[in-house]
Amino acid sequence: MRHFNERKIAIILLLYIFLIVFLTCNNIQIYINSINVLFWFSMCFYLIYNKNVGKIYINRKYLIFITIILAVYIILYFSLGIYFGFLKSPYNHTVVGFCKNILIEIIPIVGIEMSRYWLLNKNKSNKFSVIFITIIFILIEINFSNIVNASRKSLFIFLCETLIPIIFQNVFFSYLALKSSYILPLIFRISSSLVFIIMPIIPNLDWFINGTFKVLSTVIIYYLFKNKFIICHSKNIRYKDRLAYIVTIAICVLIVCFMVGLFIYEPIVILSNSMFPIFERGDVVIYKKINNEELKDIPENSIIIYTIENKNIVHRVVGKIKNEGTVLYKTKGDNNYVPDSELVKINQIKGIYQIHIKYVGFPSVWLYEHLNNDISAVKTE
């Protein structure tokens, strides 16, 4: 069999990307899965036949390490479902469906990681080549059907939930391929994919939380592996370096947990001036979540956070109506002339205002208005 050098393989991969983009843009997506499987199966066969990837070997310490990390990753991800709820898996769980999913999901992963390892290790001394090869594999993993004819809002969601995590993950997989072999990313990717294929339910996470979890977990796993590689290959490890990794990871985890609302306190960005001068557009309000009993007895003059049509509103309670065991609240923005037209039910209320931080929410406000072309408002009487 003819041998191809790494440059020709890179060109073949680029041509493959252009083919997938062409099929997607012309709505010929019915053949993409078949082409994907056949292409990566051929790549695996070529690399193994010509012994380009070498013998399968992995340090036992790394194997135990990645197994532990993988188990923690899966447990944490599915634990989010306890808070956010679960939904039915999109995968077919019949025998035929399971085999089909294995072919579609696993074969491309094997081909991608073998190709990545071979190309990177042929060019590891050239930083430009390493970056270029990593970009190729980022493009390979993008589902271009999510981009064609998408709205600005859909593109932004795709960017946060899919594209940014793909970039972080591929940079990490390239790092693993350069530091060890293709086996570590293969174990991680195949095992996590199999869990999602087998499980009948998955966490019901919105796009922000899903993307944030993927990025944060990738960064944390990278730091853990970096520390592991340093420990395994260096005799003198400073205690301060280890402590810095631990503190950095802990701070990142706490910040993200706070941002996604896993604590009793949660932040929210103000989109209008309806509560001026207490706080105004671009400020971040931190509110406290309250239990069911507290929801039924919120004092007048309290500032509450509630939802209407999936929009968060922060207004003051100006009246309370009790009717046959139910409680309704009349609200009003301090900067509005009249109260809001709709009464607020207790199941709409998220919490009570505590403090606010000036101006830090302006990037979110500008982005929201750019994507939605409006400013959040509440109807008044």
> Using one digit for the tens of pLDDT, what is the confidence trace for 54-87?
666 666 777 788 888 888 888 888 887 776 778 8
281 and 250 assigned to the same domain: no
State the 10-residue block means of pLDDT for the chain, 381 residues long. 68 90 80 88 86 67 82 84 80 86 91 91 87 94 83 82 93 89 87 89 84 87 77 55 66 72 84 89 89 87 89 91 85 91 90 88 72 56 58
Q: What one-character-per-residue DSSP string does 26-93 give?
A: TT-GGGHHHHHHHHHHHHHHHHHHTT-S------HHHHHHHHHHHHHHHHHHHHHHHHH-EEE-SS--
Given the residues 180, 181, 315, 356, select the one marked as catalytic.
Answer: 315
Q: What is the CA angle 339-340-342, rounded to 5? A: 135
| Residue 244 CB contacts under 8 Å (≥ 6 apart), including other chains | none
pLDDT for the residue 160: 85
pLDDT for the residue 15: 92
Is residue 34 flagged as an active site residue?
no
pLDDT for the residue 1: 40
pLDDT for the residue 211: 87
Range of the domain at 366: 265-372
229 and 300 assigned to the same domain: no
236 and 276 assigned to the same domain: no
214 and 273 assigned to the same domain: no
199 and 247 assigned to the same domain: yes
* Domain boundary pick from 259, 288, 322: 259
Is residue 315 flagged as an active site residue?
yes
92 and 193 assigned to the same domain: yes
In a domain, 209, yes or no: yes
84 and 185 assigned to the same domain: yes
* 0.75 surpassed by pTM: no
286 and 146 assigned to the same domain: no
In a domain, 378, yes or no: no
In a domain, 203, yes or no: yes
Burial (CB count <10 Å: 0-12, 13-18, 19+), residue 81 = middle
pLDDT for the residue 326: 85
In a domain, 348, yes or no: yes
Total domains in the fold of the chain = 2
Q: What one-character-per-residue DSSP string does 334-350 give?
A: TTSSS-BSSPEEGGGEE
157 and 296 assigned to the same domain: no
In a domain, 379, yes or no: no
* Domain boundary pick from 259, 276, 292: 259
pLDDT for the residue 246: 67
Helix (H, G, I), strand (E, B) or coil at 198: helix
pLDDT for the residue 112: 94
* Domain boundary pick from 244, 259, 274: 259
143 and 220 assigned to the same domain: yes
241 and 313 assigned to the same domain: no
Give me the CATH number covering residue 321. Answer: 2.10.109.10
Is residue 340 flagged as an active site residue?
yes
Given the residues 174, 217, 283, 340, select the one marked as catalytic.
Answer: 340
237 and 316 assigned to the same domain: no
φ and ψ at residue 279, rounded to 5 degrees: -150, 165
Given the residues 180, 274, 283, 376, select the one marked as catalytic.
Answer: 274
